[in-house]
């Protein structure tokens, strides 16, 4: 039982860490490189953050945490971390896209976890 809880907590902490670092990078790198502002912003905010959110939500759901809870941290972190660091959040569409992709990733992780449990039987 302790091992299961430890694996769930390690997957959740990995999700929180990856999303916090990626969100901080998406907020700070366009400020550090203003000449590359447009392409860097599109790549980091509209592509990387949602894909990382979906991948980490799937990993957390597959580790056994409820898929209803696994999709929540990525959009919350995507909106909160840049707001705390820079003083304003990213565009609302980025958070909504991250929310959608995280829901898809969490449901995929839940389906994969159930299939693996059925194979073990």
Per-residue pLDDT of 33-78, as tens digits, reads 888 778 888 888 999 999 999 999 999 999 988 999 999 999 999 9
State how far the Cα of 6 lies from the Cα of 96, in Å rounded to an integer.
30
Instruction: Give a yes or no: residue 21 inside a domain.
Output: no
Examine residue 72 and state whether it is found in any structural domain, yes or no: yes
Residue 55 lies in a domain: no
Residue at 24 is within a domain: no
Task: Indicate whether 31 belongs to any domain.
Answer: no
Residue-range definition of the domain harbouring residue 119: 67-121
Q: What angle do CA 106, 107, 109 make, to 5 degrees?
A: 65
Residue 32 lies in a domain: no
Residue 10, domain member (yes or no)? no
Asked whether residue 40 is domain-assigned, the answer is no
Task: Tell me the whole-structure pTM to 2 decimals.
Answer: 0.89
Nearest to 74 by CA among 7, 4, 18: 18
Distance of CA 75 to the CA centre of its chain: 7
| Total tally of structural domains belonging to the chain | 1
What is the percent of the chain with per-residue pLDDT over 90, rounded to a whole number?
A: 65
């Amino acid at each position: 039982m302790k091992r299961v809880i430890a694996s769930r907590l390690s997957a959740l902490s990995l999700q929180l860490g990856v999303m916090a670092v990626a969100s901080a990078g998406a907020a700070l790198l366009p400020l550090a490189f203003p000449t590359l502002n447009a392409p860097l912003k599109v790549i980091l905010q509209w592509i990387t953050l949602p894909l990382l959110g979906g991948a980490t939500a799937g990993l957390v759901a597959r580790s056994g945490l409820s898929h209803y809870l696994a999709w929540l941290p990525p959009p919350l972190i995507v909106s909160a971390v840049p707001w705390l660091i820079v003083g304003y959040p990213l565009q609302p569409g980025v958070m909504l896209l991250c929310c959608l992709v995280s829901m898809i990733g969490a449901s995929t992780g839940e389906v994969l976890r159930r299939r693996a449990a059925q194979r073990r039987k």
